[in-house]
Amino acid sequence: MKGNPRVLVLIDEIRAHARAIMLQTKKGREVFFNPEDPAIRDAVAHRLELLAEAAGKLPKGFAEQNPGLAWSELPVIRRLVAHPYDDALPRPVDSERLWRFVTEEVPAFERKLERPRIG
């Protein structure tokens, strides 16, 4: 694949974080929501932060060239994970929302960015 080396690195990072998230979520909902061992949930949240950071560094227009992904949700989810206590009414991360996003949206980033449109 030809293109801007910086963009290619960012795409590789997004896909790597997506794969790591998918590997963790394969362990299942019960493991993810286990209150006695939050390690999986924490690892997924961290990888999601990194995925969103990398996506935020992509050039303007990249999302439009590669539609069908939850681009607009990424910064919102990232903020919820990275800064859950910044709002007027601080609250912990909404794990249910995080689970839905990582199981429904993240796999598409890995799959669809295998052959992205770079223009």
pLDDT digits (tens, 9 = 90+) for 52-73: 999 999 999 999 999 999 999 9
Average pLDDT over residues 110-119: 92
Average pLDDT, the chain: 92
Instruction: Calculate Rg over the CA atoms of the chain.
Output: 15
Q: How far is CA 87 from the centre of its chain?
A: 21
- C-alpha pair distances (Å), 39 with each of 32, 50, 105, 119: 8, 17, 21, 39
The reported pLDDT for the residue numbered 72 is 96
The reported pLDDT for the residue numbered 84 is 73
Average pLDDT over residues 35-63: 96
Question: Residue 23 — very low, low, confident or very high, per pLDDT cuts 50/70/90?
Answer: very high
Asked whether the predicted pLDDT for residue 92 surpasses 80, the reply is no
Asked whether the predicted pLDDT for residue 91 surpasses 80, the reply is no
Cα 62 to Cα 58: distance, rounded to the nearest angstrom:
7
Asked whether the predicted pLDDT for residue 88 surpasses 80, the reply is no
Asked whether the predicted pLDDT for residue 2 surpasses 70, the reply is no
Average pLDDT over residues 96-114: 96
The reported pLDDT for the residue numbered 63 is 96
